[in-house]
Chain A
């Protein structure tokens, strides 16, 4: 083949390739964007406290073409959680967003899980920290914010302060960090918790009642949403009695907000769970779309709310879910 013939063949081949490429592009232009299937494993996933988180997740799922499956769970154990994850993997979940029930001894499991699928830790990191991508609240700061709320409360009577702390999932790093932040904040004023109650939700109210009868606390600090609800339940059970205990807590459920509105809770620290949900799904979507991406741990902000600022325009937008 001479030079002209070669160039002519090259031109014809190029045009044929362009035609084929354009035809392929035309056929595929209307194809739906690939949907990834992501499963979310949470403790008590149907609880109201996750409304904002789920709202954020669903928004992110819509934005990132994710088929989201929030596994319906009650109170689950460390073992239940792993069974659920395995089941989701069998159901061809391409990514897992998981709130680890225990942050201890989970590193090997997460490492193994990361080899099989994309994983984002939610709400709490594991030990050692910052190894795997996680979306959590700034838990130490939440603890400090609680301490600050206590110490800056104008109604605080500093003499004979008895501080009781409710710490439900004590094996979770988030709880440990909140406690650490709280203790650190209190210690700045020479205070420290009188007692710390570490137990799960179902037994929490009964054990709290027992503890309060043994060592009454003038200040009760609950480090998680279920713990705050348990404390509220305890207070409600004390009908007719003079309440001398002030409750400071962490939470975002409508029940907790309601009792904040009612004045039963003095201060509520509310992690921005909408952001947590949105960012966790966005992070796993990025991981699924771009295999080489390496999401890092992200910390979401929080609000410190009391009865007076509950209906502030900014606070109500974050506190109250729009989804009815």
Chain B
């Protein structure tokens, strides 16, 4: 796998699993990771330091133990040397053995030290026994000169020689006892009949004294132990001595004999051991302490468990504490976020949370202020729109009056001049009624009844003007008369019907105004039997690009449509059907709203909203 693939995989993995999390999760996880990492690092460091310190302490205590053991052993050996010295310098050297015996002094010394001694003996240079204590029978056929201790003494006459442990092979013991001894031998000068000759003085130390000394050191049954060897690595004492002799146990004594005093680490038979070596003076013997690292580890098991327990307990506490702290920090933010979600979902009057830390509280207050300002702005926009709509309506209405008034008044003048006074009165009456409805005390929403009356007044005037060139029929159901409508919506349609429907016809025009209810809607239809329009023109009538005024009051279909839609909502307005040479039907679609003061006022203020419009939004 090449490096790029690996990076891609890592990147994909991070993308997959490192998605943005909640703030609480992020805080809790990051705090926990940092805390656990720090704690783990500190724990490991402290544990290592503790272990190192323990190792040093162990080495120091072992050295102290070895020093103490060496002191005890040296004391014992010094005592043996003193016995040898006392025997030699106080008895043997001063006496002529031909006439005097050394037995009393030898026996005295033996008796004084018999706990540590097996025997004291003096041999002539050719291995013959001169004196011994306790008094014993020498073995038959024995030649002491062949024994190692004797040869060592005669080979290096100036020294004292300590042997390794061996079974004493000098005297006959009828109780079948054999003694393990460490022999201290030295060459001595024997005087017989005034002649000096070389002899050997032997002090056989009881090996069990050394054994007891080391057994006390090795009282512990753990795998740590101390053993003793001579300078050649020959084992003098070992807690598993017999096992070593019978090949059931191995010791690294030959290698360790080469080491100088001090502490070392070694690998032996697959296990790591801390060894400490101390050399005993006089003899060159070495006391060696062995501490297997496994036993050291066993001793540290409790500490290790304690560290693990402490770390896991602290981790537990840190995780729970982090959880609490992160929740404390994140909860106000979550509440604030929930408020925003509520706002997003359409509640324009959300309860913005204000609380938590100073920053969060400030954020909440600011947001609450922003929401209030926004709401105020929206209200202002609604009012502004309303004002705009009203002014637009007023402008439309003002567009009707001058043109129509001019024509009507012109007709009345002609009637008066033609002395058609009754017609003039009728015309003026209709005009007055028309204006009354138009004004409607400044209201925009009027009842359909008034709107129809306005239409009738208008048609009556127009019929006179057009000399009954067309007929008009009103068929309005009773139940729709008391419903709400925007005023002056029918009149522009009638005007269009007259101009575009009937004026250019050869025959009489027919204009029909119908009003009816269909479920919860009201329809006012203005139909004519005029020339009609092609479908393409019909499609463009209610679009912005058709606002071309040709004739009439100038109030276009689009304006009527927009006024209705503005007031009642987008589902409402005009629907146009037209067929060439057949005529046109323009249908006003209104919601069925009873004409009450409450509804009228709501519609005037623009706060009324139909179900359809709500659904449409």
Contacts and interface: CB of A to CB of B under 8 A. Distances in A.
B56 to A, nearest CB: 22
A91 interface: no
A29 B299 CA distance: 8
A121 to B, nearest CB: 20
B608 interface: no
A274 B166 CA distance: 18
From A12, A19, A254, residue with most partner B Cβ within 10 Å: A19
Contacts of B313: 19
Interface stretch (A20-28, A135-143, A178-186, A285-293): A20-28
A258 B323 CA distance: 83
B208 A324 contact: yes
B177 A254 contact: yes
B248 A313 contact: no
Interface in B147-206: 166-167, 169, 173, 176-180, 206
Given A25-B301, A62-B221, A254-B178, 13 more contacts: A8-B323, A18-B309, A18-B312, A19-B312, A22-B305, A30-B302, A55-B242, A56-B242, A255-B176, A316-B166, A317-B242, A318-B246, A320-B180
Contacts of B320: 12
7 contacts: A15-B319, A22-B305, A22-B308, A59-B242, A258-B176, A278-B246, A320-B167
Interface in B303-341: 305-306, 308-309, 312-313, 315-316, 319-320, 323
B179 A324 contact: yes
Interface SS of B by simple majority: helix
B302 A29 contact: yes
Contacts, number: 90
Interface string A49-67: 0000001100100100100
Interface in A263-314: 272, 274-275, 278-279, 311, 313-314
Contacts of B308: 18, 22, 25
A26 B176 contact: no
10 shortest interchain CB distances as A-B pairs: A22-B309, A29-B302, A26-B305, A25-B305, A317-B245, A258-B176, A22-B308, A18-B312, A254-B176, A29-B301
A311 B169 contact: yes
A311 B25 CA distance: 82
Contacts of B312: 15, 18-19, 22
A322 interface: yes
Given A62-B221, A324-B180, A311 B167 contact: yes
A15 B313 CA distance: 7
Interface in A1-54: 4, 8, 11-12, 15-16, 18-19, 22-23, 25-26, 29-30, 48
A15 B316 contact: yes
B469 to A, nearest CB: 81
A105 B25 CA distance: 78
Interface of A: 4, 8, 11-12, 15-16, 18-19, 22-23, 25-26, 29-30, 48, 55-56, 59, 62, 65, 253-255, 257-258, 261, 272, 274-275, 278-279, 311, 313-314, 316-320, 322, 324
Contacts of B211: 322
Given A19-B312, A23-B309, A320-B180, A274 B246 contact: yes
Given A29-B301, A29-B305, A12 B316 contact: yes
A241 to B, nearest CB: 19
B240 interface: yes
Interface of B: 25, 139, 166-167, 169, 173, 176-180, 206-208, 211, 221, 240-243, 245-246, 248, 301-302, 305-306, 308-309, 312-313, 315-316, 319-320, 323
A318 B245 contact: yes
Nearest to B166: A316
Given A15-B319, A59-B240, A322 B180 contact: yes
B175 to A, nearest CB: 9
Contacts of B319: 11-12, 15
Contacts of A11: 319
A65 to B, nearest CB: 8
Contacts of B315: 15
A15 B317 CA distance: 10
A258 B306 CA distance: 59
Nearest to A254: B176
B241 A322 contact: yes
A257 B176 contact: yes
A20 to B, nearest CB: 9
A26 B309 contact: yes
B315 to A, nearest CB: 6
A321 B176 CA distance: 12
Contacts of B206: 324
A316 B246 contact: no
A8 B25 CA distance: 11
Contacts of B316: 12, 15-16, 19
A26 B248 contact: no
Contacts of B178: 254, 257-258, 320
B223 to A, nearest CB: 9
A278 B244 CA distance: 12
A274 to B, nearest CB: 5
Contacts of A316: 166-167
B529 to A, nearest CB: 73
A286 to B, nearest CB: 14
